[in-house]
Chain A
Amino acid sequence: MPEVILHNLPFLAAGLRTTLSLAAWTGVLGTALAIPVALLRYLRVPVAAQICAAYVGFIRGTPLLVVLMLCYFALPALFNYRTSAYPACVLGFSVFVAAYCAEDMRAGLLAVPVSLIEAGLALGLPRGRVLRLIVLPLAARVALPALFGQYVRMLKYTSVASVLGVAELTGSSVLVNARVFQPLTILATVAATYLVICLSVSLAGRLLQRRLATPGG
Chain B
Amino acid sequence: MHYAFQWAPIWEHRDQIEQGLLVTIALSAAALLGAVLIGCLVGTAGAAKHKLPRAGALLYVESVRNVPLLLHIYFWYLGLSALELPAFLCAWFGLSIYSGAYAAEIVRAGVLSIAPGQAEGAAALGLRRWQIMCLVIYPQAFRAIAPSLASLFSQLIKDSSLASVVAVGELTYQAGAIEADTFRTFEVYITITVLYLILVTAVSHALLWLPAARAVAVRIDDA
Which residues of A pack against B, CB within 8 Å?
58, 60-66, 69-70, 73-75, 77-80, 152, 156-160, 162-163, 170, 174, 177, 183-184, 187, 190-191, 194-195, 198-199, 202
Contact = CB atoms under 8 A, between A and B. Distances in A.
Contacts, number: 113
Interface string B37-71: 00000000000000000000000001100111111
B172 A66 contact: yes
Interface of B: 1-3, 62-63, 66-71, 74-75, 78-81, 154, 157-162, 164-165, 172, 175-176, 179, 185-186, 189-190, 192-193, 196-197, 200-201
Given A163-B165, A184-B79, A80 B67 contact: no
A152 B66 contact: yes
A50 to B, nearest CB: 17
B66 A73 contact: no
Given A61-B201, A65-B161, A195-B63, A77 B70 contact: no
Contacts of A191: 67, 71, 75
Contacts of A64: 158, 161
Nearest to B163: A65
Which one of A66, A156, A170 has the greatest number of beta carbons of chain B within 10 Å? Answer: A66
Contact of B79 (A62, A74, A162, A187): A187
A152 B67 CA distance: 10
Contact of A65 (B63, B78, B162, B197): B162
Contacts of B186: 74-75, 77-78
B197 A194 contact: no
Given A58-B197, A77-B185, A152-B66, A69 B71 contact: no
